[in-house]
Amino acid sequence: MSIIETKTEPMVINMGPHHPSMHGVLRLIVTLDGEDVLDCEPVIGYLHRGSGKNRGKPHQR
């Protein structure tokens, strides 16, 4: 029985965020060669809480 070898090029896939309410907190850049994971780079985002608006003008009534 002979084994057939095929040459494949690595594929880069962006994974995440997986839910719309996550706001880009974690994204994974995964490099695959077939089913094998060659590299996984986590990209940590930020959680937007409106802090820019809070530092604006003082609240006036």
What the block records as the tokens of 47 is 């959680």
Q: Which amino acid is at 8?
A: T
In DSSP terms, 32 is beta-bridged to: 11, 37
- Report d(CA 23, CA 46) in Å as an integer: 8
Q: Is this prediction's pTM over 0.85?
A: no
Q: How far apart are CA 13 and CA 29, in angstroms?
A: 6
Residue type, 60: Q
In DSSP terms, 15 is beta-bridged to 28
The tens-digit pLDDT sequence of the chain (61 residues) is: 788 888 889 999 998 876 666 666 788 899 999 889 999 999 887 656 665 665 666 656 5
Token pair belonging to 33: 């060669």
